[in-house]
Amino acid sequence: MKGYVYYTRAESKRNQLFIDDLIKEAKTVGIELELLVDAEEPSVHTDFIFFRDRNSEKSRSFEELGIKVFNRSEVNRIANNKLRTFELATLLGIPAVPTKRIQQLSDITKYPVVLKTVDGHGGNEVFLCNTNVQAETFLAQFSESQLIVQPFIESGARDVRVFVVGDVIVGAVKRTGNDSFKSNYLLGGSVEQYELANWQMKEVQTLVKAIKSDYVGIDFLLLPDGRWLLNEIEDPVGARSLYKTHDFSIATILMKYIKQNLLNE
């Protein structure tokens, strides 16, 4: 069985340890796995591509070659657009952070708000605005991007990232921001293992079954009253916080999942 893990070259350098872990674990289950970057082409004997980029058109180009892609391009298209993610959650009846498109300052009727580019990730291109001046600065800085506005929701800078392979929840991590409303681990936040309640598991599984994902992270804001709100779906999802808080390798689970999935086709 032959496959590739695809990254942009820049991201492959940042994720070399994970790539090495994937290649090592693939070998143990009889998969020959190699790194594919940028415009490199897969061989004609490729069984699959584990796609680790935020470019659904690139993912679709592999699918058009007849190659099985994990995650499929439609998952990538939804997950990397926060407005589409909100629309999906609304359709499924999953409580989510209210999200709408913004084109001009007059679209904001009340502060504070959180302004984001529709396709930003990792806590980048996300700003808390309390005044018209701050919002104007954001709008000018990202004028070439599609933008969204969300109400600021007090969560104590706490959220939960749930890691899901297929329809199996493999782990959850509570993230808490450090001197910021953002909770992202790579921005200096702290992480700890989190135990999901049954109702939370059901909402997660409703989402992953709807989008038919292979491997995603789903982020929920934790509210003071015990509820949560869907914030984002991450594809590709970084697993540093999972490695930090759990005693297993997600690479092992992924390679076993991919092999079983291909054998069942």
**How large is the average pLDDT for residues 57-73?**
97
Q: In this predicted structure, what is the pLDDT of residue 177?
A: 81
Q: In this predicted structure, what is the pLDDT of residue 181?
A: 53
For the segment 72-104, what is each residue's pLDDT rounded down to a tens digit?
Answer: 999 999 999 999 999 999 999 999 999 999 999
For the segment 133-163, what is each residue's pLDDT rounded down to a tens digit?
Answer: 999 999 999 999 999 999 999 988 899 999 9
Q: How far apart are CA 79 and CA 202, in angstroms?
A: 19
Residue 235 has pLDDT above 70, yes or no: yes
Mean pLDDT of the chain: 93
Residue 180 has pLDDT above 60, yes or no: no
Q: In the structure, what pLDDT confidence band is assigned to residue 56 with cuts at 50, 70 and 90? A: very high
pTM greater than 0.75: yes
Going by their DSSP bridges, the two strands 48-51 and 2-7 should be labelled as: parallel
Q: In this predicted structure, what is the pLDDT of residue 188?
A: 57
| CATH numbers and ranges of domains, the chain | 2-77+255-263 (3.40.50.20), 100-151 (3.30.1490.20), 155-247 (3.30.470.20)
The pair of structure tokens assigned to 21 is 């872990």
Given a contact cutoff of 8 angstroms between Cβ atoms, the answer to whether 83 and 65 are in contact is no
